[in-house]
Chain A
Amino acid sequence: MLKLEKVPAGFDVDRAYASLLRLSDGRTEEETRQALAALVLILLNQIEETGALDEAIALVDSAMPRKTD
């Protein structure tokens, strides 16, 4: 099981949290869950890159469905 012992150096927790919250903007609960699943996928594949989170969130934000009605 993946276990993060400590937050990597240079990782801005507050900004990351804010980015994560933005993922739910305009999305239904189901869509947000899917977006988070996608984010986990990305991070598991880029876990050694500390700068991956912003890039991953941007990718998910653009690729995942967003309910507009």
Chain B
Amino acid sequence: MSYEQSLPGEFALTGEEGKRTRARGPERLGDFVYPRFAYKPHERSGGSAPERVPVVVAGAGMVGLTFAMDLALKGVACVLLDDNDTVSAGSRSIAQARRTMQIWSRLGAASPMFAHGVHWSKGHTHYSDRCVLSFEVFPERESRFPPFVSLAQYYVEDFLVKRAMEIPNLDIRWRHRVAKVEARSDIVGLIVETPDGPYTLEADWIVGADGARSTVRQASGIDFPGDRLRDKFVIADVKLFGDLPHERNFWFSPPFYDGNTVLRVPQSDGIWRIDWQIDPDGDAQDELDPDVVQARLRRMLGDIEFKVEWVSTYTSEHRLADTFRKGRVMLVGDAAHQLSPFGGGRGGNSGVQDADNLAWKLAAVVKGQAREKLLDSYSAERRPIAVRNIEDSKLSTEFITPKSPHSAALHSAVLALSGVAPFANAYVNTGRFSVWPVLETSPLSRPDGDPFHAQGRPGTPAFDSRLSAPGGGEAWLGDRLGDDFVLVLYGAQADAPFEEAALKKASEALFPIGFQRIVPGARAEGAELADIHGSFASQYDARPGTAYLFRPDQHVLARWRSVTIEKIETAVRATLAGGETC
């Protein structure tokens, strides 16, 4: 990780603390003690040939760790390089979305995050001295996970590293910095710098998870156009000694900070993220003066006792890589797309979704199960989502800090009317929250051949239905999907006959394909799941015989009212060919 590479923007600690932080990172933040991961010198092989590995991942932030873990768990040897030896400085990405938790659950890393994080779903928006809008995030979706688990990035990365160290095939090298990348048609050559000097490394593939200033992206000649915003904010992790409800609060021009915005979000350990807008033409360093910070917070918090644990300033940029794949180079997370923090938690979460999308594809290519063309679908699927995230982030940022007289007029009109006229509430925009988007542009999705509701169409991420397991215990559909293709068939054998033996044969010939049968209403028997609440039938427009084929990243690939092994084989074969019909 690099403290000045990732969003949200430029971190600029001051004084002695700043010097120490920039040099090695902080020692602790609240109750969190920063780990120091052991540096190991590169072991040179006996011969003169450089070390060669299948995949190198640059950057062990939350996205790089997620990707490398997923790949290694799929049996692909992976070297993960990072220029630091600890985790993120400051809380940074704190809103871990439901979908992100599902991905980490699949990787065996979610439990400690779920236990340690703060779960929130309610929020309030204030204008001047009145609350104009109270909301609940995604209340309609049932899932094992809440809409958001609020957990600082340093905790997330620490839990990920602990899990990563248990995974064979994953070689994490701390204080090994990617200094040079040369990608050719047949190989990627790297110069890696360490405290003991540089060494050469060769890889079949490289994945850049090395942040907005990605060395991998720059060395590959992939442009990263975009804009730098004028707005400046102070960001602080503040321990509050008071009994505040775990809810998000956003203020427009509050009495305690007239003319500006303030955001307050709970984290674990009694720490809250507090952001406040500052004069874009002023000196940001002045705003980091401890007396100024204390005075601002005192006005915001009234009688609540507090302790500032970490503070910095940031500005934002919106940038997008021209492509997420160029030959043997792929980009994920901030290396591929950069958002303002008012994207509703889309920065870190969309990066983890990038990793989820790419890992199974690259693993399949490395293992010879899929054609290289499958990798093109990564950029085709994820880049349009990044475009939309940036557009949404721009709209949120424009509403929060209007730049033109027209948007200022709209901003004032909406805030004046919100709480008075319910329709105006929809226009209040303090960040549209991270969603798990449909892959609308996927070259892999199989068009519907049978009549279905639009919900659950190919490209849709799986809805996490609550089911009943054999024996009567609770089961979640999301836990039954992932890593392999999975066919989910709705209906008892008598109503929806299907020969599992044929599926097993196809699995052996093509790619592992799991099987789940869900029966309506009744108690489950054998290996079946029971849709006792009717949620699967409702969410998936299912009736006896309906079948859904899910991809290894839990997205719908195809669906049919009546399935045959030939339909399944055709869909899987075309997917592994990158969307081409064989």
The reply to whether B409 and A59 form a contact with Cβ atoms under 8 Å apart is: no
The reply to whether B409 and A63 form a contact with Cβ atoms under 8 Å apart is: no
The reply to whether B412 and A63 form a contact with Cβ atoms under 8 Å apart is: no
The reply to whether A59 and B413 form a contact with Cβ atoms under 8 Å apart is: no
Q: Which among B409, B413, B424 has the greatest number of chain A C-beta atoms within 10 A?
A: B413
List residues of B (400-431) whose CB comes within 8 Å of A's CBs: 405-406, 409-410, 412-414, 416-417, 420-421, 423-424, 427
Write the nearest CB–CB distance from A50 to chain B, whole angstroms: 17
Residues 38-60 of A, flagged 1 when their CB comes within 8 A of B and 0 if not, give 10011001100000000000011
Measured between beta carbons, the chain B residues less than 8 angstroms from A34 are 409, 412-413, 416
Measured between beta carbons, the chain A residues less than 8 angstroms from B420 are 59, 62-63
The reply to whether A42 and B409 form a contact with Cβ atoms under 8 Å apart is: no
Q: Which among A46, A63, A64 has the greatest number of chain B C-beta atoms within 10 A?
A: A63
Total interface residues on A, using CB and 8 Å? 17
The reply to whether B423 and A33 form a contact with Cβ atoms under 8 Å apart is: no
The reply to whether B409 and A41 form a contact with Cβ atoms under 8 Å apart is: no
The reply to whether B423 and A38 form a contact with Cβ atoms under 8 Å apart is: no
Query: Given the known A-B contacts A41-B427, A64-B413, A65-B412, are A59 and B405 also in contact in the complex, defined by CB atoms under 8 Å?
Result: no
- Find A63's partner among B416, B423, B427 (CB 8 Å cutoff): B416
Total interface residues on B, using CB and 8 Å? 14
Report the 3 A-B pairs with minimum CB-CB distance, sorted nearest first: A38-B413, A37-B413, A37-B409
Query: Given the known A-B contacts A34-B412, A41-B423, A45-B423, are A63 and B405 also in contact in the complex, defined by CB atoms under 8 Å?
Result: no
- Can you name the residue of chain B whose Cβ is closest to the Cβ of A36? B409
Q: A64–B415 Cα gap in the complex (Å)? A: 9
Write the nearest CB–CB distance from B398 to chain A, whole angstroms: 14
Measured between beta carbons, the chain A residues less than 8 angstroms from B410 are 37, 41
- Find B405's partner among A33, A42, A46, A64 (CB 8 Å cutoff): A33
- Can you name the residue of chain B whose Cβ is closest to the Cβ of A38? B413
Q: A18–B16 Cα gap in the complex (Å)? A: 65
Q: A11–B412 Cα gap in the complex (Å)? A: 28
Write the nearest CB–CB distance from A29 to chain B, whole angstroms: 10
Given contacts A63-B420, A64-B413, 9 further A-B contacts (CB under 8 A): A33-B405, A34-B409, A34-B413, A36-B409, A37-B409, A38-B413, A41-B417, A42-B423, A45-B423
Q: A35–B405 Cα gap in the complex (Å)? A: 13
The reply to whether B416 and A65 form a contact with Cβ atoms under 8 Å apart is: yes
- Can you name the residue of chain A whose Cβ is closest to the Cβ of B424? A41
Q: A64–B410 Cα gap in the complex (Å)? A: 12
The reply to whether B405 and A38 form a contact with Cβ atoms under 8 Å apart is: no
Q: Which among A38, A41, A59 has the greatest number of chain B C-beta atoms within 10 A?
A: A38
Measured between beta carbons, the chain B residues less than 8 angstroms from A62 are 420
Q: A25–B79 Cα gap in the complex (Å)? A: 70
Measured between beta carbons, the chain B residues less than 8 angstroms from A65 are 412, 416
The reply to whether A64 and B416 form a contact with Cβ atoms under 8 Å apart is: yes
Q: A45–B421 Cα gap in the complex (Å)? A: 11
Q: A30–B417 Cα gap in the complex (Å)? A: 16
Measured between beta carbons, the chain A residues less than 8 angstroms from B412 are 34, 37, 64-65
List residues of B (265-302) whose CB comes within 8 Å of A's CBs: none
Write the nearest CB–CB distance from A36 to chain B, whole angstroms: 8
Measured between beta carbons, the chain B residues less than 8 angstroms from A33 are 405, 409
- Find B421's partner among A35, A37, A42 (CB 8 Å cutoff): A42
Write the nearest CB–CB distance from A44 to chain B, whole angstroms: 9
Q: A59–B420 Cα gap in the complex (Å)? A: 9
